[in-house]
């Protein structure tokens, strides 16, 4: 297993800076995801690791070796694309074996490794079929097998599930993670789908405007985002403008529109008494009714059924846009109804006020 290291990597296209001095280390065997909207620089970072794009400044190391100026074919990486990039005139088995042929692997060894790769992605029965005879999910499994059969130091995946429907995406998420775990291969994954990132990764790096703005475990990223941008991009977050009234250790008291709320637990940023900031909590931490802890009143704007939950859109005391979730089978408020919302101090956090900026 090898690590991947990006040191102050920068890339511009004309006057547009795509990546701004990114530092990132992917540990041996680790699964790290670059997450962000279109144009944030995540795919450019991946393509620089692959060797398809050369950085303007900075270094890229794989397994301790500087590969910044090494061409793609001399880097031991495996790449999986959203578009599959399979050869239509070759069978499944031949597509998988192609990379080994280019590397001069002997016929007997290549045949054995192809069979192992087919077994790994559970496509043994389809070895003789052509890409046109496969479903989207089967094609992506072939692409995955072709990438790992060459035994790369690093596996690179560029939005590999973007062309698939939701059910198939979820199935392939499990499949990719299973294969990665079985091989113990260092993996860098690119996606704009936060659910995909949280469900598959050891760590997630959220990108904005060519920079990594937070990198953390999925749990820490979701429960303690370090900015309003991350909080809103990784899931949905209720935000209430407040003023910090007093604090004692990790416990704080904030005030909004005459109401007082408590916040418990360490915060990622330093806050001063009297500072205007944002009180944040996730929709699933709201209880409709008195559930203990913090309490506020709101008006129900809309209710929609989502299968396992009801999604409730609300307007807060200062017309804040709020969202709550009610599990199916529990009492559901009606549109236009005034309700009480409660949420525990340990399930909320403070965020700095931010000025809008480009993604």
Is residue 215 within 8 A of residue 22, CB to CB? The reply is no
Are 80 and 198 in a shared domain?
yes
Q: Report the C-alpha gap between 98 and 105 in whole angstroms.
A: 10
Task: Say what the pLDDT of residue 1 is.
Answer: 76
Query: What domain range includes position 224?
Result: 4-228
Is residue 315 one of the residues assigned to a domain? yes
pLDDT of 81: 86
**Is 359 domain-assigned?**
no
Does residue 93 share a domain with residue 167? Answer: yes
pLDDT tens sequence across 229-284 = 999 999 899 999 999 999 888 889 999 988 899 999 888 778 899 999 999 999 99
Residue 143, domain member (yes or no): yes
Q: Which of 228, 261, 295 is the last residue of a domain?
A: 228
Of 204, 228, 252, the domain-final residue: 228
Confidence at residue 356, expressed as pLDDT on a 0 to 100 scale: 56
Q: Is the pTM of this model over 0.75?
A: yes
- 39-98 confidence digits (pLDDT tens): 999 999 999 999 999 999 999 999 999 999 999 989 999 999 888 788 999 999 999 999
Per-residue pLDDT at 164 = 79
Strand partners, 252: 247, 263
Tell me if 240 sits within 8 A of 316, measured CB to CB.
Answer: yes
My answer on whether 164 and 310 are in the same domain is no
Q: What is the CATH number of the domain that holds 41?
A: 3.40.50.300
- Write the pLDDT tens digit of every residue in 242-257: 999 998 888 899 999 8
What size, in residues, is the chain? 359
Residue among 91, 82, 175 nearest 133 (CA): 91
CA distance 212 to 59: 16
Residues 178 and 308 in one domain: no
pLDDT at 82: 81
Of the three residues 212, 228, 244, the one that is the final residue of a domain is 228
210 plus 282 within the same structural domain: no
Looking at the predicted structure, is the pLDDT value of residue 358 above 60? no
Q: How many domains is the chain partitioned into structurally? A: 2
Greatest pairwise CA separation for the chain in angstroms: 77
Indicate if 158 and 280 belong to the same structural domain: no
Cα of 343 vs its chain's centroid, Å: 27
> Residue 169: inside a domain, yes or no?
yes
Does residue 357 sit within a domain? Answer: no
What was the pLDDT predicted at 316?
Answer: 92
Q: Do 77 and 179 lie in a common domain? A: yes
**Rounded to an integer, what distance in angstroms lies between the CA atom of residue 12 and that of residue 14?**
6
CATH of the domain at 321: 2.40.50.140
pLDDT exceeds cutoff 70 at 311? yes
Distance from C-alpha of 233 to C-alpha of 222, rounded to nearest angstrom: 10
Same-domain check for residues 290 and 333: yes
136-148 and 107-120 helices, crossing angle to 10°: 130
Assigned domain for 249 exists = yes
């Amino acid at each position: 297993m090898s690590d991947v290291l990006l040191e102050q990597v920068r890339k511009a296209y004309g006057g547009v800076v795509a990546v701004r001095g990114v530092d990132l280390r992917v540990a041996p065997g680790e699964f790290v995801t670059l997450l962000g909207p279109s144009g944030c620089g995540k795919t450019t970072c991946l393509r620089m690791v692959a060797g398809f794009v050369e950085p303007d400044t900075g270094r890229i190391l794989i397994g301790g070796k500087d590969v910044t100026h090494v061409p793609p074919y001399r880097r031991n990486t495996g790449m999986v694309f959203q578009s599959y990039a399979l050869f239509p005139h070759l069978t499944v088995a031949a597509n998988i074996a192609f990379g080994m042929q280019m590397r001069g692997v002997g016929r007997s060894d290549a045949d054995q490794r192809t069979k192992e790769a087919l077994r790994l992605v559970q496509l043994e029965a389809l070895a003789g079929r052509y890409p046109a005879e496969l479903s989207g999910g089967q094609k992506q499994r072939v692409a995955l097998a072709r990438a790992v059969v060459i035994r790369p130091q690093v596996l690179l995946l560029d939005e590999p599930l973007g062309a698939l429907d939701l059910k198939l995406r979820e199935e392939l998420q499990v499949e990719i993670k299973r294969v990665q775990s079985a091989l113990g291969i260092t993996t860098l994954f690119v996606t704009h789908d936060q659910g995909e990132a949280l469900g598959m990764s050891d760590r997630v790096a959220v990108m904005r405007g060519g920079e990594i703005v937070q990198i953390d475990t999925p749990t820490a990223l979701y429960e303690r985002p370090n900015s309003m941008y991350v909080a809103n991009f990784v899931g949905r977050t209720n935000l209430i403008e407040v003023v910090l009234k007093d604090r004692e250790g990790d416990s704080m008291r904030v005030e909004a529109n005459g109401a007082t709320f408590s916040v418990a637990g360490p915060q990622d940023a330093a806050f001063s008494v009297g500072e205007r900031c944002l009180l944040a909590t996730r929709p699933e931490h709201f209880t409709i009714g008195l559930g203990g802890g913090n309490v506020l009143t709101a008006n129900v704007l809309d209710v929609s059924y989502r299968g396992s939950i009801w999604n409730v859109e609300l307007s807060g005391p200062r017309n804040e846009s709020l969202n709550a979730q009610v599990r199916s089978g529990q009492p559901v408020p009606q549109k236009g109804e005034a309700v009480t919302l409660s949420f525990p101090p340990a399930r909320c956090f403070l965020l700095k006020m931010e000025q809008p900026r480009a993604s």
